Chain A
């Protein structure tokens, strides 16, 4: 950092040249990546509900103690069945809200009577652990209106989602942060 002029030698030339090359390289790389990326908007993780097989990994592989993946309900798709295969165990003893009849291990689904013979099923996200048992049940015999989604008020946005790394059906993908959900739509099902 001294001000006095030093004799210019070969090593300085090499050093300066390499430094300049590094700077140019970094600049070029950044420019190319920004140009190639276009908008380069930040992304978040989301589950494609049409690829999800409800294997149960979401409940266990999230880095959070309580998974950021929860079950959500597309009410417009739901058949409001009395015998909901997402709510009830196979062959339930009674069609009522008894815990022994429920598929959900945490009792996170609320069953509300609407009108004969229709019942509404809502998810209590504070209780849901994202195991996907109800999703599997609903997909097997129902309309598939229950499905899993990453809840972005909980998700930490890891660089690589550890559930995505464990997902057997490669249903996890990066989606633009401006459209962070992949919801099932009624028209898709029709």
Chain B
């Protein structure tokens, strides 16, 4: 074995000598006379046709969901459509691409001119928003696979106290703001990284995400659709747009008799009771409160921006360049520190330290500016929420809140004024009078 060892040592020496020039052919490729070199195999990516098929299915599903929820008023139809979308977008297309994640592609494309937004991401981002401008959140009700997987496990929904529902609902805006910040700065796509259900769709994934998804589904048996109501960043967008929707889910086709059956049937607490007439004294104090809130809003926004901008250093660590610069700086300060794959890879590029530090500093500044905007946005959301709660809105009947209603259609079967529900009565009770 001695000659072999010598040979190996020789190779080692050769390797060290030529380590700096890794692209040099150390051993010239032989020129064969009989032997032909095999080709390197390049399996083709999935057909681009899937982009078109996905877009068409999305459009058709949104149209069907809007028709079923507003015109046909059919919970059964919506449920079948929802199952289809769960199978198609969820288990067949494996949950990618989805409108929730497409928010990040749009954010990245807006702030990074080097990134070309795939048109299918834009379609997935915009179509459900356009539909909810006209028909309410029909996307959430029957098209979204994440909503569908939660909807099928709703077992015994409890009603969440109103204050808790409004409070937890704000989390979605925090998630949305953070996702846009990290996507726009090129740090990470956190919506995709922490998608709780995609590992179910793919039947693979990290154990942490499987546990998170399973926990959400367990909670979802009692608190219906927790991800949709309290976390979903796209849901936060749809909630805002849904407030402006042209048409809405109407619970009763005729006249509301204030029986409250529909409010109890809604697992999402989206149905608001009719309001009592307001006393002039309360009206006056509400007006005053509104005035104070409006005056406070700019202060709130500035304060929010300042508070969140304090977090810009930990935020910036989401970006790989900043992490790398910090690691390299630590290694420079302490030579005995163990190097990482990333810092080793950086050293082989031969880029000067100053250039890396400059890039990291620029990124940190950019994320700092983003943190100001994020803080301002969150304060604005908080202010708008307070204003909305302060403003009295007259309702003469039980109504689905346009923002919170997920167009699931459960309430249709509960309204005693709906002729379809009345027809069922004589058969059940044998009472025809």
- Using a CB–CB distance below 8 Å, which chain A residues touch chain B? 1, 15, 18-19, 22-23, 26, 29-30, 33-34, 36-44, 50-51, 53, 55, 57, 63-65, 72-81, 83, 85, 90-93, 95, 114-115, 118, 120, 122, 125, 139-144, 151-160, 162, 165, 168-170, 174, 177, 180-181, 183, 186, 188-190
Contact = CB atoms under 8 A, between A and B. Distances in A.
Given A42-B51, A75-B37, A157 B15 contact: no
A158 B193 CA distance: 10
B154 interface: no
Interface in B85-124: 94, 96-97, 101-102, 104-106, 109-110, 113, 115-122
30 contacts: A15-B244, A22-B133, A22-B241, A26-B133, A29-B110, A29-B126, A30-B122, A30-B126, A33-B106, A36-B113, A37-B109, A40-B118, A75-B38, A77-B25, A77-B29, A79-B26, A80-B30, A93-B1, A141-B11, A142-B27, A143-B26, A154-B43, A159-B105, A160-B188, A165-B193, A168-B340, A168-B344, A177-B48, A186-B29, A189-B24
A147 B8 CA distance: 22
Contacts of A33: 106, 109-110, 117, 122
A65 to B, nearest CB: 5
A151 B43 contact: yes
B116 A37 contact: yes
B96 A42 contact: no
Given A33-B106, A33-B117, A141-B11, A115 B133 contact: no
Contact of A152 (B46, B97, B122, B205): B46
Q: Which of B32, B39, B40 gathers the greatest number of chain A CB atoms within 10 Å? A: B40
A53 B349 CA distance: 11
A86 B122 CA distance: 44
Interface in B202-217: 202, 204-205
Interface of B: 1, 4-5, 7-8, 11-12, 14-15, 19, 22-30, 32, 34-35, 37-46, 48, 51, 94, 96-97, 101-102, 104-106, 109-110, 113, 115-122, 126, 129-130, 133, 188-189, 192-193, 198-199, 202, 204-205, 241, 244-247, 320, 340-342, 344-346, 348
A115 B30 CA distance: 10
Contacts of A19: 133, 244-246
A10 to B, nearest CB: 13
A186 B29 CA distance: 10
Given A33-B110, A43-B116, A44-B45, 20 more contacts: A22-B244, A36-B109, A37-B117, A40-B116, A42-B119, A51-B345, A55-B341, A65-B204, A74-B40, A75-B40, A85-B15, A120-B35, A142-B27, A143-B29, A152-B44, A158-B192, A159-B101, A159-B104, A183-B42, A188-B23
A139 B192 CA distance: 33
A141 B38 CA distance: 23
Contact of B14 (A79, A141, A159): A141
A142 B14 CA distance: 10
Nearest to B203: A65
Nearest to B12: A141
Contacts of B245: 19
A79 B45 contact: no
A168 B247 CA distance: 50
Nearest to A90: B8
Contacts of A95: 4
B8 A91 contact: yes
A45 to B, nearest CB: 10
A154 B8 CA distance: 37
